[in-house]
Amino acid sequence: SDGLRGDHRDEICGHVADWCRSRTTEEVLDALAAAGVPAGPVLDLDQAVTHPQAAAMGFLRPLEYPDIAGTAPPVARFPVAMSGHAPPHRRAPTVGEHTDAILAELGYDAAAVAALRAAGAV
């Protein structure tokens, strides 16, 4: 029962770990599949981002960053998609990138922003 499994969790996990330790990942997955147990490998970061399923799902997409020359690092796409609507795929702003626009929205004119910059306030 679920309760008994919970009561003996450490013992069960120890047996499972010992069983897995003496086998390759492929052997473990094959044995579990043969027994009808759904299972998949635990992947490290490099394995996860280069896994064929990640590519098939379009999980990672290149994204240009102004501070990174010559390469567009892969960035995970937004995990939720609604039918008919593409989720946004844009980088985070750099530090201070929107300062002028925000100050303008707050009512500062170009001269006031220039004065703040000259004073080192922004």
Instruction: Answer yes or no: are the C-beta atoms of 78 and 89 closer than 8 Å.
Output: yes
Rounded to whole angstroms, the Cα distance separating 112 from 94 reads 22
- Give me the pLDDT at residue 83, please: 82
Tens-digit pLDDT profile for residues 79-103: 777 887 877 788 888 899 999 999 9
Q: Residues 9-68: pLDDT tens digits?
A: 999 999 999 999 999 999 999 999 999 999 999 999 889 888 999 889 888 888 888 877
pLDDT at 64: 85
* Closest by Cα among 91, 93, 65 to 76: 91
The residues near 9 (Cβ < 8 Å, ≥ 6 apart) are none
Cβ atoms within 10 Å of 39's Cβ, excluding its own: 13
List the domain boundaries for the chain: 2-34, 45-76, 92-122
Report residue 4 CA to chain centroid gap. Answer: 36
Sign of CA dihedral 94, 95, 98, 102: positive
Distance CA 94, CA 39 (A): 41
pTM of the model: 0.50
pLDDT over 80 at 116, yes or no = yes
Write down the pLDDT at residue 84. 79
